[in-house]
Structure formats: C-alpha cells, structure tokens
Structure 1
Amino acid sequence: MEDDEERVTLFDVVYGRKSEKVVLQQLTMVAQVPSDAADRTELGARYENLITQLTKQHRLGCGITGLLLIYPTCLLHIIEASEYLLDCFLNELRAMQEQPDCKLLEAKVAFMWHSLEGRQFQQWSYKVLTADQINQNPLFTTLEKVEESVETVVCRVLTQLQELVMHLKTSKELPGAILDNKPELLNPPAVLEQLLDRDELLSPQQYLQMYHSPLNICIDFGQVNLRSFF
C-alpha cells in the first residue's frame, strides 16, 4: 500500500501547474482615432513606447504580446499579458487619455479572455493601415449595414482574428506582413465602429472601476433559520 505522504491528489496537480506559471489573459479593445496619417503613426509609436516601458518596469512578469492595427478612423488592439500587467496597461491608457495632447478618443473593451492557455502572438507589434488598403478591399465596399446584437458583432471580430492567428502558426512573418498579402483577414472598420457605438461595452475607465470595486455580498445569504424546521 502506498504511503499517504506520497499520494498526489487532483487538487495538488492543478494547483501545482497554476503556481508554476503566470495565468495569461487577453484583452481586445477598439478605439476611435484621428484621421490624420501623421497622428496615427505617432499614436503607434506612443503605444510601442508604453508597452516597452511596462515590460521594463515589470521584468518578473510574463511579458506582453499582441497586435495593434490602426485603421484610418479606428484601431483594434489585442494584448496578451498577466492580469496585473493588463491592469497596469489600462491604468496607463486612462492616464494617456487624460492628457491634453492625447490622440486616442473614445475606447471600448470588446472582450476579455481569462486563463488563456497559450499565447496567440509571439511578440507585440503594430501596423498603420493606409486608406488604400481599406478602400480597395472589395469585402469592405460590399459590406451592408445590418443591425446586429453586440454579441454577434464581437463574435465576428474574434472569428476574423482567429483566422489571422491560424496563419501565424504556419508562418514566421509578422502579422503586418501577412495582412499585406492577405487583406481579407482584416476586420472591416465598419464592424469595429459598430462596437464603439454600443453602450453595452465598457470603456477602459468603466472596466477599471468595476474591476477594483468590492463585491456587495449580503451577509444573510446562505444562513439558515433553525426555527423554520420546527
């Protein structure tokens, strides 16, 4: 018979795996940006500087990976990191938006993926999309405006991103280079702009407020009145 001290339970295995690695999360965000091309290039460099600073400040973290796509009128940002680093990123983003020279306008958190099993992007990178890449895409020009639920629109965005991720797994190129050759993998800007108009989605400020707010737990919940049994 095995000794009790040598037995390993399922809880020990799961807890051991969780303690050995940092649990990844993935944030998908959309935001409105100015239409000036120079401002959009500056915005990309500003994001890159922010990601670099966060990585240097938190060397013990799991690092930051993801993709920033800057359209002529909006942006789509996917960022993968630990819960703590994502919290730091959103706080820095909020501070950035409060600055007078901020180039980032309204923003919405489209999706937060908790306990990501593995990274979908090997590094963080950004790409500024030109007006020609958008206007000459036949999939965008034939897109009809249809009133859809916010869940449907978010699923459309995430499905298109998964198509890009599948191509990344079989290619050594950066996402920007793949999108140059396969523009059909891009999410239509009209779809992203729909998310900016949906009140169901939270802004980064609202998300942080909800994240840091304590849960209102009723202390009477779960208590049993013994007199009810008599």
Structure 2
Amino acid sequence: MSVSVHTRKTNKKNSPLEPLLMPQVPRSNYLHLQEEKQRLQLRKFLLHRIFLVAKITANTEKKDIAEYYEQVFQSILKRHLGEAVTGLLLVYPTSILHILESSSGSLYQILLDYLNHEKDEAEFFIQGMKIIVMSHNIPTRLFMQWQVSAIKAPVMHLDDVTQSQSLEEVITEFLIQTHKLALHLFKIVKVGAKGPGNNLHKIAPELLLPEQIIKYLCNSEEFMDPETFINIYNKPVHVTLDSEVVWPAPSRF
C-alpha cells in the first residue's frame, strides 16, 4: 500500500503579528549608561573636583589650616565611609589655593563646615572663599592623597597679568597652570609619601601661580561664594507644567 504524503506549502508572507512577537532590542538611557560605567569602574560614588581660593588672616600658619581640614575630613569619613578626600592645598602668605576631589556629599560638607565657622566666629582665619570651578563626574583622580604645601618663597613674574588680561584669560591661565602642576605631582609623588612639602618653589617654580592671581580671583564678583552655592544646592527643583499656568484652571472630574 502506498501512502501519499502531501506537503503543505508554507506561506512565506509574514504574519501581521510577527513583528510584535519578535524579540525586541533592549533600549537603554543615560542613567543606565552612567550606572554601568560606575559598575565597571568599581566606584561607589560619582567623583567631583572643586577649585577654591580664599584669603587668610595675617600670621596664619600652615599647620593651623592643615589641622582644620584634617579634622573636617575625619568627621566626613565617619558619615561617608569610603569617600576619601584627595587634593592639594597651597598656602600663600595671605591666601590659599585649594583643589579637592571627592563625592558631592563630602564636598558639600566641607563647604558647609567653612560657612558655619565663618558665621559663628568673629574672625575665622579663612575668609572670602570663592568657588572657581566644579567639575562633575570626573573619570579619575589627579591626586592620590591630600597634600599641603606652603609657598613662602616669592614667585617671580615680570608683570601683573591681572592688569593686562581679561578675566577669561586669567581664569584660563589659572586652570592650565593648576592642571599642569597636578599632573607633575601625580608623576613624582608616590602613594603614601608626604609629598613635596614646602619645596614646590624649588621643584616646579614655573608651575606655581603668583599670589596676585589668587587674590584677584578672590575679589572677583563673577565667582560664587559657598553660601550662594549651598543655597542653590538645597533649593528644591520645581517644574511648572503648562497646565498650571493656563486660565481658567483645568477642572478635575
């Protein structure tokens, strides 16, 4: 007995529901991208860098400023475990240049502590602080630890650039020089070492900014002070929808 087998011709035309049944390519967003980047870098928090300048009272010692900030850092580590603060503090005769790297919460606490001292004490030894720039979500640290250096020897320059250059040119020179100095220290200072100490004027005199630039930036009204920054930081973000500003107000059933 012969059995005839009839093969059914399959319809090659795609079914209308086929695109809906096909596996969809997962879509990502910017938040997922940042979270994945953080996971790959094994970091617990986003890293930020802030550049600060300030004036100091007469006869202020480097030791007093260093001890103050070390106490602030220790207090922060108790609440923000693992969020170490690294950077560089240059103590000039009448001003300071401070570069800090840490999480946004740690940097916020540093500014808040300074602001509390400025309000509570009649004459705090750090005055007139200005935030020059704050870089968010930087890929890596420029400083492996926090270092302090006193600039006692005068930095010789032929002319006062603050008199002949615009603010944009001065701030450009400021950022270029500070980054060059940071990269230089990154190469010569080993992890765990005390750093160059007070010999920066001998190690890299050409990379040191003159104090006249630091004082010029302290007096510039274009830069934000810590109080203004903290007020903006704490201010809630309100988004006004178009439906909230039309008249008459929309009625809800």
TM-score bin, normalised by smaller chain:
0.7 to 0.9
Measured after TM superposition, the shift of residue 92 of structure 1 is 1.0
The question of whether the paired residues in 1 share the 8 Å contact of 2:86 and 2:145 is answered with yes
Within 5 Å, which residues of 2 pair with 1:43-192?
A: 43-59=65-81, 61-98=82-119, 99-130=121-152, 133-134=153-154, 137-139=155-157, 142-172=159-189, 174-176=195-197, 179=200, 180-192=202-214
TM-score of the superposed pair, with normalisation by structure 1: 0.81
2:186 partner amino acid? K
Q: Is the aligned partner of 1:16 residue 2:39?
A: no
The question of whether the paired residues in 1 share the 8 Å contact of 2:88 and 2:143 is answered with yes
Measured after TM superposition, the shift of residue 87 of structure 1 is 1.1
Q: Any idea what the Cα deviations from partners look like across 1:10-30, whole Å, max 9, x if unmatched?
A: 545543223552110101010
C-alpha RMSD over aligned residues: 2.8
2:108 partner amino acid? D
Q: Aligned pair in 2 of structure 1 residues 217, 142: CA closer, same or farther (>3 Å)?
A: same
1:31 partner amino acid? A
State how far apart, in whole Å, the 2-side matches of 1:77 and 1:196 are: 12
The question of whether the paired residues in 2 share the 8 Å contact of 1:27 and 1:112 is answered with yes
Q: Between the two proteins, what is the percent identity of the paired residues?
A: 25
Aligned to 2:250: none
Q: Aligned pair in 2 of structure 1 residues 206, 13: CA closer, same or farther (>3 Å)?
A: closer
Q: Any idea what the Cα deviations from partners look like across 1:19-70, whole Å, max 9, x if unmatched?
A: 55211010101001013154x43122212221222223321x4311111111
Q: Aligned pair in 2 of structure 1 residues 175, 120: CA closer, same or farther (>3 Å)?
A: farther
TM-score of the superposed pair, with normalisation by structure 2: 0.74
- Local SS of the residue matching 1:106: strand
Aligned to 1:211: 233
Q: Aligned pair in 2 of structure 1 residues 212, 159: CA closer, same or farther (>3 Å)?
A: same
The question of whether the paired residues in 2 share the 8 Å contact of 1:44 and 1:127 is answered with no
Structure that is richer in helix per residue: 1
- Local SS of the residue matching 2:58: coil
State how far apart, in whole Å, the 2-side matches of 1:4 and 1:124 are: 51
The question of whether the paired residues in 2 share the 8 Å contact of 1:70 and 1:129 is answered with yes
The question of whether the paired residues in 2 share the 8 Å contact of 1:150 and 1:200 is answered with no
State how far apart, in whole Å, the 2-side matches of 1:118 and 1:72 are: 31
- Local SS of the residue matching 1:17: helix
- Local SS of the residue matching 1:116: coil
Measured after TM superposition, the shift of residue 172 of structure 1 is 2.7
Q: Aligned pair in 2 of structure 1 residues 165, 145: CA closer, same or farther (>3 Å)?
A: closer
